[in-house]
């Protein structure tokens, strides 16, 4: 959705032409795969982080345009709402000191952005959902001033034809409605890209789907929305419901939501792009002048612009991405599972674990997806969102014919997945010292059963027990979170609770 989109009226002929262009693009993708035109392995990874803007009071600040003007860097861009930014880290080759390089780039960039935001009484917050957001903050008037957001909102609202219902039953229950997609802006995430060859794509995507629940259990950081304590990771249900184009009748018929875990393991990247066309009507029927099949006939590489645009409006937690760089097509798996934050160290630790474990699982002679049903992987994702670091997950027993058992997520990581992640990072050629440092953060989270969500909830409840009302406790928790986030120690080392006021001298 970073493409330049001009808002305008979309008529019936536009939709019909766009659908035909999508079919042509899919045919073109199939030809590119058959002709083995894709880039050779480069071990490239990329990273994007969505951010919040909040003031010294912990409340959201609707001023991304002013902050971006001061940052004046192409690495930082708008996101859906005025309290959102996104930072993009240039692609890196996996190997060597890449993890420390990422950490240094993130610290430098976020520190600079935070200083610039301070100039207009705001600050950068890396968190899955800002706890102090209210329904009044998430309204159309607070969407960022960009045509693509306006048009996307109009088309999703038109497709649904009625208000969006938010109904999340967690520690507490939240039920409310929205007239726009603005509540989706509450969800801020880390997006991890991995460029892969077509031959390796299915294995990497299947592995990423298999461990999505584990990622959430380790990294949950979104327990609050609109003053209610919900799931440990409330982004997935919020994301699905806030842009759900299905009225209740279509949902009851089993029509798939546009925010989607999926329903099967795949054999080819083509499977995912084909499903996106087969299951999801176009939202943004904007046609490019390119004829992708003529470009292929002439020996060129098509941009497949319509396919790329449509793909960006289907919100899989592991999304296939087609791109062209220097005239050569490539494929990426975009992992969208993790919430932002809590600290740079935590983000890089999550990154290390993901790239390591996915490589190891994708290359396993007896792959996990041959021993774990897709339905079990989807249930793991749901359970991890609800219970976070305390989740129990389904996972194959060791051995070829061991069946599936339920195991605490922390035990699964400590006993099985951390050694696999270490082996995967070794295979990428990551420096052992960096491997041990960042996987050590994951190990400590598991041993202490502590992550961003558990810290937020524990600190909030301690503030309530100390006599604060809910809003004051949420604001105080957010302010303390910001202090510790910028101090930089990993979240498992954060002291729970608010600091005691200094005693008066004398």
pLDDT tens profile 257-299 = 999 999 999 999 999 999 999 999 998 888 889 999 999 999 9
H-helix segments, 394-492 = 409-412, 418-428, 432-448, 452-465, 470-487
**What pLDDT score was predicted for residue 62?**
97
Rg, C-alpha atoms of the chain: 22
- Please, which pLDDT band fits residue 504 given cuts at 50, 70 and 90? low
| Range in 26-35, 127-136, 141-150, 235-244 the model is least confident about | 141-150
- Please, which pLDDT band fits residue 3 given cuts at 50, 70 and 90? very low
CA torsion 54-152-166-245 (nearest 10°) is -160
477, 456 in Cβ contact below 8 A? yes
Residue 344 to residues 218, 337, 431, Cα–Cα distance (Å): 15, 17, 19
Q: Is 408 helix (H, G, I), strand (E, B) or coil?
A: strand
pLDDT at residue 404 is higher than 90: yes
The number of helices, as runs of H, and strands, as runs of E, in the chain is 18, 15
Write out the DSSP string of 277-294: HHH---S-----S--HHH
**What pLDDT score was predicted for residue 285?**
81
pLDDT at residue 423 is higher than 80: yes
Name the pairing type of β-strands 173-178 and 318-325: unpaired
116, 67 in Cβ contact below 8 A? yes
Task: Work out the average pLDDT over 14-37.
Answer: 93
Task: Work out the average pLDDT over 347-369.
Answer: 97
Task: Work out the average pLDDT over 127-141.
Answer: 97
73, 362 in Cβ contact below 8 A? no
CA pair distance 423, 417, nearest whole angstrom: 10
pLDDT at residue 8 is higher than 90: no
191 phi/psi in degrees, rounded to 5: -115, 120
pLDDT 10s digits, 84-93: 999 999 999 9
pLDDT at residue 501 is higher than 80: no
**What pLDDT score was predicted for residue 4?**
45
**What pLDDT score was predicted for residue 2?**
41
pLDDT at residue 5 is higher than 60: no
**pLDDT over 70 percentage in the chain:** 96
Bridge partners for 333 per DSSP? 194, 320
For the record, the structure tokens of 21 come out as: 């262009």
pLDDT 10s digits, 68-85: 999 999 999 999 999 999
**What pLDDT score was predicted for residue 398?**
85
pTM of the predicted model as reported, rounded to 2 decimal places: 0.95
Chain mean pLDDT for the chain: 94
**What pLDDT score was predicted for residue 421?**
98
pLDDT 10s digits, 193-250: 999 999 999 999 999 999 999 999 999 999 999 999 999 999 999 999 999 999 999 9
**What pLDDT score was predicted for residue 484?**
98
């Amino acid at each position: 959705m970073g493409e330049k989109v001009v808002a305008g009226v979309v008529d019936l002929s536009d939709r019909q032409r766009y659908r035909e262009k999508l079919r042509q693009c899919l045919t073109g993708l199939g030809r590119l795969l058959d002709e083995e035109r894709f880039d050779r392995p480069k071990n490239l990874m990329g990273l994007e982080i969505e951010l919040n803007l909040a003031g010294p009071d912990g409340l959201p600040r609707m001023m991304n345009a002013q902050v971006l003007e001061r940052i004046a860097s192409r690495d930082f861009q708008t996101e859906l709402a005025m309290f959102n930014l996104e930072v993009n880290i240039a692609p890196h080759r996996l190997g060597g000191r890449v993890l420390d390089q990422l950490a240094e780039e993130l610290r430098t960039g976020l520190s600079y952005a935070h200083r610039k935001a301070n100039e207009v009484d705001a600050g950068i917050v890396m968190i899955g959902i800002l706890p102090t957001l209210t329904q009044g903050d998430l309204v159309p008037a607070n969407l960022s001033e960009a045509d693509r957001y306006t048009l996307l909102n109009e088309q999703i609202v038109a497709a649904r034809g009625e208000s969006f219902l938010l109904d999340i039953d967690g520690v507490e229950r939240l039920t409310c409605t929205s007239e726009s997609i603005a509540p989706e802006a509450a969800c801020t995430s880390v997006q991890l890209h991995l460029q892969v060859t077509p031959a390796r794509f299915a294995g990497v995507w299947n592995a990423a789907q298999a461990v999505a629940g584990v990622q959430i259990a380790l990294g949950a950081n979104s327990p609050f929305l609109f003053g209610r304590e919900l799931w440990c990771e409330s982004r997935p249900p919020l994301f699905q419901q806030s842009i759900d184009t299905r009225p209740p009748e279509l949902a009851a018929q089993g029509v798939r939501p546009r925010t989607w875990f999926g329903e099967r393991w795949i054999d080819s990247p083509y499977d995912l792009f084909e499903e996106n066309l087969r299951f999801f009507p176009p939202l943004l029927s904007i046609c490019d002048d390119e004829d992708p099949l003529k470009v292929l006939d002439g020996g060129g590489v098509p941009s497949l612009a319509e396919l790329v645009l449509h793909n960006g409006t289907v919100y899989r937690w592991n999304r296939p991405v087609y791109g062209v760089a220097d005239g050569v097509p490539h494929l990426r798996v975009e992992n969208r599972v993790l919430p932002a934050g809590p600290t740079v160290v935590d983000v890089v630790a999550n990154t290390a674990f993901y790239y390591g474990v996915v490589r190891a699982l994708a290359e396993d002679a007896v792959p996990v997806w041959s021993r774990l049903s897709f339905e079990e992987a989807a249930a793991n994702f749901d359970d991890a969102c609800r219970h976070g670091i305390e989740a129990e997950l389904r996972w194959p027993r060791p051995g070829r014919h061991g069946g599936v058992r339920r195991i605490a997520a922390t035990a699964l990581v400590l006993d099985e997945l951390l050694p696999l992640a270490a082996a995967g990072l070794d295979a990428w050629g990551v420096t052992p010292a960096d491997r041990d440092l960042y996987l050590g953060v994951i190990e400590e989270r598991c041993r202490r059963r502590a992550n961003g969500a558990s810290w937020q909830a524990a600190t909030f409840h301690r503030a309530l027990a100390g006599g604060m009302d809910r809003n004051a406790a949420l604001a105080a928790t957010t302010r303390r979170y910001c202090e510790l986030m910028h101090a930089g120690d990993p979240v498992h080392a954060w002291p729970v609770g608010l600091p005691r006021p200094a005693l008066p001298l004398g």
